[in-house]
């Protein structure tokens, strides 16, 4: 079994068991994204956001995913929410990255 299949299976099992670890949910979303399973990636980012809205890294990745899917308005909304989350945490670096991504959306 390829490593990506084992990783995907592990992450699916872990999230299905009710894990509250945001990194596991983020990992699953990123695994779907790398496999170009965009709808599943987006659904997993949305589930993560509902569980842990303060998990800043997801906002940039979800925004980029939505932009790649041709959903610029949704990408802007995610990035804007991410900027707010980063500022609440005092993470100026993440806020800056999110602002740059937001400025780059056509």
Domain enclosing residue 66, as ranges = 3-103
pLDDT confidence of residue 21 = 96
78: domain CATH number is 1.25.40.10
Contacts 24+ apart (CB under 8 A), 35-39: 35/4, 35/8, 38/65, 38/68, 38/69
Q: Residues 87, 50, 36, 12: what is their CA dihedral angle, to the nearest 10 degrees? A: 120
pLDDT confidence of residue 63 = 98
pTM over 0.95? The answer is no
Angle between helices 72-89 and 57-68 in degrees, nearest 10 = 170
pLDDT confidence of residue 59 = 98
DSSP label at 56? Answer: T
Segments of the chain scoring below 50 in pLDDT: none
The H or E element containing residue 34 is helix 22-34
Query: What is the rounded distance in angstroms from the CA atom of residue 106 to the CA atom of residue 42?
Result: 20
Number of domains comprising the chain:
1
């Amino acid at each position: 079994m390829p490593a990506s299949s084992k990783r995907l299976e592990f992450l699916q099992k872990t999230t299905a068991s009710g894990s509250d670890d945001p990194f596991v949910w983020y990992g699953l979303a990123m695994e779907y994204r790398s496999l170009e399973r965009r709808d599943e990636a987006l659904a997993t980012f949305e589930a993560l956001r509902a569980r842990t809205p303060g998990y800043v890294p997801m906002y940039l990745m979800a925004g980029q995913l939505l932009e790649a899917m041709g959903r610029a308005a949704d990408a802007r909304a995610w990035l804007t929410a991410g900027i707010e989350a980063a500022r609440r945490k005092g993470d100026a670096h993440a806020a800056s990255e999110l602002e740059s991504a937001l400025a780059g959306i056509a």
